Amino acid sequence: MTTKTTMAGITTQRSALLALAFTILAACSDPATESTPPVNYDVVIRGGTLYNGADQPPVTGDIAINDQHIVAIGALDNWSADTEIDATGLAVMPGFIDIHSHALRSDPEEGGILRWPDAENLVRQGVTMVVGGNDGSSPVPLAPSFAQIAELPPAIHFASFVGHGSVREAVVGEEDRPPTGDELDAMRELVAEAMEQGAFGLSSGLIYAPGRFADTDEVVALAEATAPYNGIYISHMREEGLGLIDSVNETIAVGERAGIPTQLTHHKVVGYPMWGSSEETLRLVDEAIARGVDVSIDQYPYTASSTNLQILFPGWSLDGGRQALLERAADPDLRTQLRSDIAHNIEVDRGGNDPANVVLAGCPHDPSLNGMNLSQVLVQQGRERTNNNAAELLIELVEAGNCSAVFHAMVEEDVLRIMQHPTTMIASDGGVEAPSDRAVHPRNYGTFARFLSHYTQNMEVMPMHTAVHKITQMPADRLNINDRGRLEEGAFADIAVLDLEAIKELTTFAEPHQYAEGAVHVFVNGEAVLIDGEMTGTRPGQIVRSSDYR
């Protein structure tokens, strides 16, 4: 596709303006278009196939951008601009909103938006906004991190939840005990403070320490603190394997009791004993919605998950934090019990009953392990490939400093069923990455390209306009953002122009650091961050705060 730049001529004839107004009115059926347009626009995108984000079939038309906003949509033949984009044969849609992101890392050396503010791995998919603070982990307070990001600034927008686990750690520490009354009040105050700083709600990671040490009442109390600010609750549930059903019920109960929307985040079914259980979990969601609970789902379109190795460790071993874990591992009797519990989790949970299903992604203490699965490491070390030996290896790796890993323990049947549910949005559960020696999950580079190409076009899981809705207006509406995630007059001009025939993910588990193809132009707040498939170096991203920001 080509891009041309022209300077507009000045048109002052009243008859021409009246004819133009009626032309636009007929094309858009929007009385707002009767107003006289400015003489010269910043950008006009011409002749594209327009997906407006609202789960409606596309139409062909033009879009005019001025002063960061979409100012007109329709047949704009007589409108001119500083920059004109010929989008004939291309799909024009709102920029994608990744509602579950880990774009902000506490240590920039581990990656993230502070290290790579161009966010090329996301821009090249069409992403224009990410929402961090997921899985119960966020900065507390949020304001300093917001200021740090805004100072860069990044190429894409950043928003955040406040993390229950981070709030709990700040007040209670890493101990497995309930908070005192004063501590609970202090946690509620931290949540309210974060909401006033612009957070969109409370996230939890009830499978991770210290979040896993909280009971449901504690989580409800903190979720209630977001209600005056129109917050939502989004949860990495306690269990996604054997305890999945109880965990779904708990997530629904938190929203129901707190009186706020609730979301099952990166919803999945882990471990062979539970495969197929998405049928039951979605029934629970539907029943809750029928009785008036506002429940939604997000999902990444892969059959493998990714997190750190301690997700396979039993909760009792994590009480008190890392030092306490190391002391328990040094006790022969406790180490035997720890090894047995981890081996059980390898069998029925994220290990998929085979150490080969656990692939080491990032081992800072020994990068040579990156990309190797546990079976390969055991063979290399001359040990028999058993779940028990794999469990011992995991203990040793955590003692040495811990690793992130990719866990192949899901099946396509559940992925497809969850994807097709009407409340499901697509999100990456990834972050900002660039080529490195980390064997990261392909979702960091390919989530949205894979969803639109493999599932939507190749497998025909849903119409393209429905797929676009799940990654644009649907997450925007979930966050009560009414000026992004849509192609509407007055909305911010976050726009992705894609060649749907060319879009595809190139990333693989073996070679993950490969950018997606098919994004031709990407605009953020009306400024081009990608033109003709090339990054511009422009970074117009902003901090997006909730409407209750004070």
Q: What are the pLDDT digits (tens) for 200-250?
A: 999 999 999 999 999 999 999 999 999 999 999 999 999 999 999 999 999
* DSSP per position, 347-369: HHSTTTTSGGGEEEEE-TT-GGG
The answer on pLDDT for 38 being more than 90 is no
Q: Contact at 8 Å (CB) between 164 and 202?
A: yes
Of 31-40, 422-431, 487-496, the range with the lowest mean pLDDT is 31-40
Three-class DSSP category at 129: strand
- Is residue 292 domain-resident? yes
- What pLDDT shows up at residue 35? 52
User: Does residue 251 sit in the same domain as residue 326?
Assistant: no
Domain's final residue, options 460, 476, 492? 476
- Is residue 181 domain-resident? yes
Residue, of 38 and 389, whose pLDDT is higher: 389
The 3-class SS string of 378-406 reads HHHCCCCCCHHHHHHHHHHHHHHCCCEEE
- Is residue 143 domain-resident? yes
User: Does residue 361 sit in the same domain as residue 426?
Assistant: no
- What pLDDT shows up at residue 36? 54
The answer on pLDDT for 1 being more than 60 is no
φ, ψ for residue 293, nearest 5 deg:
-85, 135
The answer on pLDDT for 161 being more than 80 is yes
User: Does residue 312 sit in the same domain as residue 457?
Assistant: no
User: Does residue 281 sit in the same domain as residue 201?
Assistant: yes
User: Does residue 296 sit in the same domain as residue 421?
Assistant: yes
- Per-residue pLDDT of 329-380, as tens digits, reads 999 999 999 999 999 999 999 999 999 999 999 899 999 999 999 999 999 9
| Confidence band for 2, pLDDT divided at 50, 70 and 90 | very low
The answer on pLDDT for 307 being more than 80 is yes
Q: Which two tokens stand for residue 316?
A: 């009792």
User: Does residue 246 sit in the same domain as residue 344?
Assistant: no
- Is residue 506 domain-resident? no
The answer on pLDDT for 271 being more than 70 is yes
Tally of domains within the chain: 2
Domain's final residue, options 392, 408, 424? 408
Angstrom distance (rounded) from CA 426 to CA 139: 24
| Confidence band for 80, pLDDT divided at 50, 70 and 90 | confident
Please provide the average confidence, as pLDDT, over all residues in the chain: 92
Angle between helix axes 278-290 and 412-420 (nearest 10 degrees) is: 20
Angstrom distance (rounded) from CA 218 to CA 473: 32
Angle between helix axes 216-224 and 164-171 (nearest 10 degrees) is: 100
- Strand residue runs (E) in 135-225: 157-160, 162-163, 201-205
The answer on pLDDT for 83 being more than 70 is yes
- Is residue 210 domain-resident? yes
The answer on pLDDT for 3 being more than 60 is no
User: Does residue 198 sit in the same domain as residue 286?
Assistant: yes
For 439, the domain range is: 106-306+411-476
- What pLDDT shows up at residue 28? 43
Domain's final residue, options 427, 452, 476? 476
The answer on pLDDT for 37 being more than 90 is no
> Which of 220, 156, 154, 160 has its CA nearest to residue 187?
220
User: Does residue 234 sit in the same domain as residue 125?
Assistant: yes
Q: Which residues contact 497 (CB under 8 A, 6 or more apart)?
A: 45, 48, 85, 87, 90, 91, 92, 519, 520, 521, 522
User: Does residue 363 sit in the same domain as residue 215?
Assistant: no
User: Does residue 283 sit in the same domain as residue 367?
Assistant: no
- What pLDDT shows up at residue 32? 40
Percent of the chain with pLDDT over 90: 88
- What pLDDT shows up at residue 18? 30
Which helix (H) or strand (E) segment is 487 a member of? none
Q: Which two tokens stand for residue 402?
A: 């811990």
- Strand residue runs (E) in 110-254: 127-132, 157-160, 162-163, 201-205, 232-236
Q: Contact at 8 Å (CB) between 235 and 212?
A: no
- Is residue 505 domain-resident? no
- What pLDDT shows up at residue 26? 37
- Per-residue pLDDT of 98-129, as tens digits, reads 999 999 987 766 779 999 999 999 999 999 99
User: Does residue 117 sit in the same domain as residue 166?
Assistant: yes
- Is residue 77 domain-resident? no
- What pLDDT shows up at residue 79? 85
Torsion of CA 517, 52, 491, 3, to 10 degrees: 40
Q: How far is CA 227 from the centre of its chain?
A: 23
> Which of 101, 146, 94 has its CA nearest to residue 121?
101
- Is residue 64 domain-resident? no
The answer on pLDDT for 303 being more than 80 is yes
Kindly list the distances between the CA atom of residue 372 and the CA atoms of 347, 361, 366, 384, 436, in Å, as whole numbers in the listed order: 19, 8, 11, 16, 16
Angstrom distance (rounded) from CA 96 to CA 66: 20
Q: Would you tell me how many other CB atoms lie within 10 Å of the CB of residue 5?
A: 10
User: Does residue 139 sit in the same domain as residue 259?
Assistant: yes
| Confidence band for 17, pLDDT divided at 50, 70 and 90 | very low
- What pLDDT shows up at residue 108? 67
Per this entry, what is the length of the chain? Answer: 550
CATH number at residue 294: 3.20.20.140
- Mean pLDDT on 451-468: 98
The answer on pLDDT for 10 being more than 80 is no
Q: Would you tell me how many other CB atoms lie within 10 Å of the CB of residue 227?
A: 15
